[in-house]
Structure 1
C-alpha cells in the first residue's frame, strides 16, 4: 500500500481534526502517518509517496516553525508530491474560502520559498470555552470586528467537510 505523511502545525486542534478526516478519506489508497511538524523537524521524505501539510493561522500568522521546516526541507518539498492547506476563521466567509481569495494563503505564498502545486484553505473552529482568558478576549474582539460569533460559551465549527473531501480526492489524483 502507498504511504502518505500528514504533517501539521496546529494551535487549537482543528487542523489535526481535518487531517484525521483526510486520513479516513485516503484509507483505501494510502497508509497515513500523522505527525506534528513542530516535534519532528527531520523527515525522511523517501519513505512516503505523498506528503500533505496542514497549518493554522493564529492572530494573523502561521507558526514560525512551519517556515523553519520549509526552509530546512525546501529541496525535498520541491521534488516531491507535497500538498498544503491553511486553516483560519476568515475562510468561513464566501470568497475568502479559496486560495486566491485568502489573504493568509497569499501572504504564505509571498513569504515562503516553497510554492505548493496543490493548495487549499479551510475554515477553522471557535472553541471559546477552551481558550485562556487573554485568547478568548482577543478572539472575541476579532470576531466582533469581522461579524462573527462572540458568545464565549459557544464552540462553533465552520469547517466545510465537503470541501475537505474534495481536497482529499485531489490529493489522491495529484
Structure 2
C-alpha cells in the first residue's frame, strides 16, 4: 500500500473527473489517495508517490503547474512520480500518447522535471458549459481540426479503460 498524492489543475472539470476516477481505482488496489487542487496542495513530504494532472486551456497548461513543479522539483525527483494531461486534441488516435501529443511534448521541453510515468487522456467537449469566448474559440479550433462544431455538442472523449490501465501502472510504480 502506498500513500499517493494527486495534485490537479482543471478548468471545466474533466481533469477533476479523471483524478477522482484514478483515486477510486487506486483505492480499490489498496492505496491511500489524497486528491487536491494545485493551489491547495499539502506538504509533499508525507507521500510515497506524487502525481500531477493538468488540463489544456487555449493550447497551454496552467502556468501554476510549472511553478508548483519548480517549487517542488527536488522532492518530485526523490519519489515515484507521474504526470498526466487532459485535452481535446488527445481525442485523435495520432495524438493520444505522450510521444505524439503536442501538449505533452511542449510540457516536457518547458520543465526540468522528467516524470517517471506519463499519460494523455481525451477531454470533454461541452459547448453549453463554456462561456461565450471559450465556446467560440473551441468551436473555431474544432472547425480547423475537423471536429464537431454544433452548438449543442456534448462528447466525452476520455477513454476510461486507458485511465484504468494508467492507475494500475501508478500502483506498480
Superposition map of 1:1-174 within 5 A: 2-28=2-28, 29-40=30-41, 43-174=42-173
Scaled by the length of structure 1, what TM-score is found? 0.95
CA distance in 1, matches of 2:63, 2:19: 20
CA distance in 1, matches of 2:10, 2:90: 16
Is the 8 Å Cα contact of residues 7 and 36 (structure 1) preserved in structure 2?
Answer: yes
Shift of 1:45: 2.0
| Structure 1, gaps ≥5 residues long | none
- Structure 2 distance, partners of 1:167, 1:76, is 22
Q: TM-score, normalised by structure 2?
A: 0.96
- Give aligned pairs, total: 172
Deviation at 1:4, TM superposition (A): 1.0
Could you give the per-residue CA deviations for residues 44-74 of structure 1, whole angstroms, max 9, x where no partner exists?
Answer: 2221111111101111100000000011111
Write the deviation string for residues 67-117 of structure 1: whole angstroms up to 9, x where unpaired.
000111110111111111011111100120000000111100000110101
CA distance in 2, matches of 1:141, 1:95: 20
CA contact (8 A) 1:6 1:19 kept: yes
Structure 2 unaligned blocks of 5 or more = none
Q: Where is the helix percentage greater, Structure 1 or Structure 2?
A: 2
How far apart, CA to CA, are the structure 2 residues paired with 1:120 and 1:110?
Answer: 16
SS at match of 2:95: coil
CA distance in 2, matches of 1:90, 1:115: 22
Q: CA RMSD in A?
A: 1.0
